[in-house]
Structure 1
């Protein structure tokens, strides 16, 4: 039995309307709590926001949606459904991988389709290796999900369960790159199933093999895109929360927390005071700790993931070889990770993620126009250029990336750009993200599971943390789970699957939900100055 908040928890204030905060709000509402959500921006989403620029509807946050059933759990907590509110398009292929030698591979989530593609690409032996790898990924996921990922930890002793032995037997505590190499000999294929480690902030050669679970989510469980863009997900979650009785207060900045001893008694914003019985804090860890007035002691300083430069480009043309998601691998590999995580230098031969959302939803751009998001991993500001340096470095690096992509086949890209938004570590720093990275603390062994910053903070009885900096970590699926786990700390009711009910939430309003209705507030579009980019989504910094 994990720890829960002591005392009364009838009214909970959730700080931040990102995916973590909205997930927590829905699970709290389903458990009968009164919920107030406070968000500094004029719209929900946190890092998964929206920028309207010259007729282009730009997602400012994550572009990859996997494991949609985890989002559906949050809707189900109030008797609603993700699939009723959001049109999800499964992406085929999930990714297209383009390599420096000119070869291309479509990454399918269907086993037979992917095996056929691997056979075409690298031969029958590699196709057989892929099938063995897929079986291993599925077993790895089953060993981890409910006991290590979807779980609150009170101490490292929580690791001691039967699934720990299963995970060890599967080689989960070895190195990711070496484990993938047991199944695939082709170095290009090994990249496709190991690059995801960078999402966790660790190079594949140093990451635990357990982090292949991210490759499971990408390459087995499936990749989806919400019609209307990724921002459609938090928008729908906010609408569902409002209909279930939550009070959503947009455009309010939290100034401080009032205390009485070890308990928070009110959240004070720039427009007023909100008395409460408990608080869920979703901003990045430095902001949350500042509000709490306490920073947990750790034997070692937190190590942060690499950051990213993102160019959102509205163009007057596109390039047919680009899929919805295209990974353009450089020739370099191991050296690239050393540049990002040790030397603190920009990639000399970059691997880039190019997302073309208008390939699936043309309505995100004006007629005849296209959206392209170009994401280039870069060092965080702890080890690389500081935030101030990016004012000059950013535009120069933008030009470098465009030249490199033109060399790789996107001829005329620079001239095709009509509208753009460049995001650098300086922007992440301005948003309150530690080390100028939206990907928070890296998933080293010492910062994983029970060793990651806890969602309970010593010295405060009635506050819980959620978001990518705490349990279970970085990524849309895990951030949604962090909100659910935070709610369980408040209510003591762990949710498994579609078990929620909205009866208690609706009873307070004396009404019932109407399919397709949206009684929640309709926030205004993002301001052009609110420029955030592709990130694992947590709450909005205060």
Structure 2
């Protein structure tokens, strides 16, 4: 129901009547909106508070002239996550989102001659790889796909779908028979080293090593388990008709239709804590909103650094700046292109991958960047276009937006290197300053404070970092976490999954409090006192 209306009242036995719980959701990113939708569908009063003028969070859309350009995540995968969300609220995904499957997952280039398309069909990809690099590499690709599939199958139900497990819990859950499966995941091997088991051609190691950057990490430091991303894409990539922003507007509209309130331009500066428990929020203008629980769709490390006040700082473990994931420099533009046959998703690899990630590790903009180009007016089949088109161009950058913002000359040099590299690969972009919006790590820091511009939370470097993301239940009772910086990780479907995990935890705790009330003495415990008295910690 819209915020400010009278709450429903439900009887839980005896002569006492208790008001419906109210939940405040901080941040209208995908995780926060999924949480709000599922809570509202349960009849719980929900208010979503978003500091930006529009919902979306990192799934953002920029206006460039009259064009709207997806300038955050551009790839839609793991469709089943959203099918389950829509099914849970009595809806169907196709009724709300028009999704078009792509045949070419991405077009890859290394120079003006070396190009390779990766297809949704493994056989077609194997054939293309065989033509590109030889029969042995095609066989290595098939072996790699099988290994990525096994990795995903092992981790989907034991890790992705559950509250953050520890490594001992994961091992125990696997049982004696499953220990071998876990060991074969090569958790102590880097992704780059694991790729050398399958590919001799360094260009193919680059191609599949790039999946580590989906979590803002280096293939030279990320664990081999991230190869599961290759299987996720192999299972399907879709284009969202109307742009990725359609996901946000659909979730917000469905949540509102079920009674949730979404307030934009509402910056939360503090999670209110009383009796050791979250009890509401305070806005920048001083407005105080009471709640029985709070869900924070914000970077966990930023919360630990005091983004939401001192009381909430204990909710999540802090992270050293060196542990941050990558940021980016992006160009959202409307421009004419020539020379290269763009698909929707295109990757132009650097000539020295080791140096590129060494530059990033040393907090420098890469001297030779790999460039991602999303050509948003190309359909699933690609094809030539006449006239200007909408483009998002992106290179990885260190997350130093709060400590050492890059100068205008450094960004200009990065731009020159980026578009010179594209020309070497055959793509000329006729860009115009008045039709281009540039976002740097400092810009992402302004959008997402106290992150340095890190876009994926904590980098997945080392064998245990996946187990170090905070779970939905925080260390502050009544405060729950969602978003790409918490378990199960970054990306649109993972953020959506984290929203579901936060709701499951919150509802379980509410049910526990209601059970406590039912056994209380007549005239004793109210809902708010029961909630205050609970521990809620993991």
Match of 2:23 among 12, 16, 19: 12
SS at match of 1:316: strand
1:57 deviates by 0.8
Q: Answer yes or no: is the 8 Å Cα contact 1:26–1:74 preserved in 2.
A: no
1:386 deviates by 4.1
Counterpart in the other structure of 2:140: 129
Distance 1:447 1:174 in 2: 12
CA change 1:287–1:185 in 2 (3 A) is closer
Count how many residue pairs are aligned between Structure 1 and Structure 2: 478
CA RMSD of aligned residues (A): 2.7
Per-residue CA deviations over 1:84-115 (Å, capped at 9, x if unaligned) read: 11111212211001013721100112122212
Per-residue CA deviations over 1:369-422 (Å, capped at 9, x if unaligned) read: 20111101122218xx944433442234223322332233223x2456660000
In the alignment, structure 1 residue 373 sits paired with structure 2 residue 392: yes
CA change 1:463–1:281 in 2 (3 A) is same
Counterpart in the other structure of 1:259: 273
Distance 2:114 2:325 in 1: 30
CA change 1:101–1:439 in 2 (3 A) is same
1:270 deviates by 4.4
Match of 2:356 among 333, 336, 342: 336
Per-residue CA deviations over 1:437-483 (Å, capped at 9, x if unaligned) read: 2222111237634322343332x210101111111122222111111
Distance 1:201 1:25 in 2: 27
The structure showing larger relative contact order (alpha-carbon pairs under 8 Å, at least 6 residues apart) is: 1
Counterpart in the other structure of 1:223: 237
Match of 1:188 among 184, 196, 203: 203
Distance 2:229 2:446 in 1: 29
Q: Answer yes or no: is the 8 Å Cα contact 1:282–1:288 preserved in 2.
A: no
Q: Which moved more, 1:103-112 or 1:75-84?
A: 75-84
Per-residue CA deviations over 1:170-200 (Å, capped at 9, x if unaligned) read: 4343221222222222221222212111223
- Give the alignment of 1:78-89 within 5 angstroms: 78-89=89-100
In the alignment, structure 1 residue 442 sits paired with structure 2 residue 459: yes
1:427 deviates by 0.3
Q: Answer yes or no: is the 8 Å Cα contact 2:301–2:318 preserved in 1.
A: no
Match of 1:472 among 488, 506, 519: 488
Distance 1:173 1:101 in 2: 37
CA change 1:464–1:390 in 2 (3 A) is farther
1:14 deviates by 0.9
The structure that has the greater radius of gyration is 2
TM-score, normalized by length of structure 1? 0.82
Match of 1:346 among 365, 389, 392: 365
Q: Answer yes or no: is the 8 Å Cα contact 1:156–1:451 preserved in 2.
A: no
Distance 1:368 1:255 in 2: 45
Q: Which moved more, 1:290-299 or 1:172-181?
A: 290-299
In the alignment, structure 1 residue 492 sits paired with structure 2 residue 505: no
Counterpart in the other structure of 2:333: 313
In the alignment, structure 1 residue 398 sits paired with structure 2 residue 398: no
Counterpart in the other structure of 2:290: 275
Q: Answer yes or no: is the 8 Å Cα contact 1:29–1:78 preserved in 2.
A: no
Counterpart in the other structure of 1:37: 48
Per-residue CA deviations over 1:19-66 (Å, capped at 9, x if unaligned) read: 110121223234443222111223221111222221111112111111
Counterpart in the other structure of 1:356: 375
Match of 1:151 among 153, 157, 162: 162
Distance 1:276 1:258 in 2: 9
Distance 1:433 1:410 in 2: 36
1:215 deviates by 1.9
SS at match of 2:63: strand
SS at match of 1:444: coil
CA change 1:153–1:9 in 2 (3 A) is farther
CA change 1:429–1:27 in 2 (3 A) is same
CA change 1:282–1:333 in 2 (3 A) is same
Counterpart in the other structure of 1:198: 213
Match of 1:173 among 145, 169, 188: 188
Q: Answer yes or no: is the 8 Å Cα contact 1:387–1:425 preserved in 2.
A: no
CA change 1:146–1:477 in 2 (3 A) is same
1:82 deviates by 2.4
Q: Answer yes or no: is the 8 Å Cα contact 2:112–2:424 preserved in 1.
A: no
1:156 deviates by 4.8
Distance 1:447 1:429 in 2: 27
TM-score, normalized by length of structure 2? 0.82
Could you list the structure 1 runs, at least 4 aligned residues long, displaced by more than 6 angstroms after superposition.
none
Q: Answer yes or no: is the 8 Å Cα contact 1:323–1:359 preserved in 2.
A: yes
1:208 deviates by 0.9
Counterpart in the other structure of 2:324: 304
SS at match of 1:64: coil
Distance 2:400 2:319 in 1: 18
CA change 1:264–1:8 in 2 (3 A) is farther
Q: Which moved more, 1:234-243 or 1:269-278?
A: 269-278
1:257 deviates by 2.7
